[in-house]
Amino acid sequence: MNFPAELKYSRSHEWVQDNGDGTFTIGITDFAQDALGDLVFANLPEEGDAVTAEEAFGDVESVKAVSDVMSPVTGEVVAINEEILDAPESINEDPYGAWFIKVANVTDTEELLDAEAYEAFCATEA
C-alpha cells in the first residue's frame, strides 16, 4: 500500500496536498479505495460551495455501498475533478492522482497525520 510522504492524511482516510498557493487538493487514500472496492460512482460539490472540516462534502459508491467523503479543511471549493465523475474507476487505479476537490480560503484544518503516522493508523484499522 502506498503512502506518499509529501501528503497529509485524515483519520477518515482522505489525503490533503498543500499546493503552496493557498489552495489545498483533497482526495481519498489508497487504503480507502482498497477498503471500498470497485468504485462506480462519485458525487462532488460544485465550485463555490463551502466545505467544513470533518463534515462530508461528497460521496463515493462501490458496487455494494455508499461512503461519505469528509473534508479535512474548512474553506471554499475552487475546482472539482470532473474526470472522476465519468471514470470513478480511476480512483481505484490512481488514488493520489484522481483528486476530488481543490479548496481555497481555508480558515480551519483538522489535525492531520503525516505519512508515517497515517500508515501506523491504517495498520490498526485493517
Q: In the window 44-83, what residues touch other proteins (CB under 8 A)? A: 61-64, 66
Q: Does 90 bind other proteins (CB under 8 A)?
A: no
Q: Which residues pair with 74 in a beta bridge?
A: 108
Nearer to other proteins (CB atom), residue 41 or residue 107: 41
CA 61 to each of CA 31, 87, 93, 107, 120: distance values in angstroms, whole numbers, following the listed order: 15, 12, 15, 29, 26
Nearer to other proteins (CB atom), residue 35 or residue 112: 35
Nearer to other proteins (CB atom), residue 4 or residue 37: 37
| b/e 20-32 (16+ beta carbons within 10 angstroms → b) | eeebbbbbbbbbb
Contacts with other proteins by CB under 8 A: the residue count is 10
Q: In the window 26-45, what residues touch other proteins (CB under 8 A)? A: 37-38, 40-41, 43
Nearer to other proteins (CB atom), residue 63 or residue 123: 63
Distance of closest approach, residue 51 Cβ to other proteins, in angstroms: 18
Q: Which residue has the cell 482498497?
A: 34
E strand segments, the chain: 8-9, 14-18, 24-28, 39-43, 50-51, 55-62, 66-71, 73-80, 101-109
Can you give the binding site for other proteins, defined by CB under 8 A? Answer: 37-38, 40-41, 43, 61-64, 66
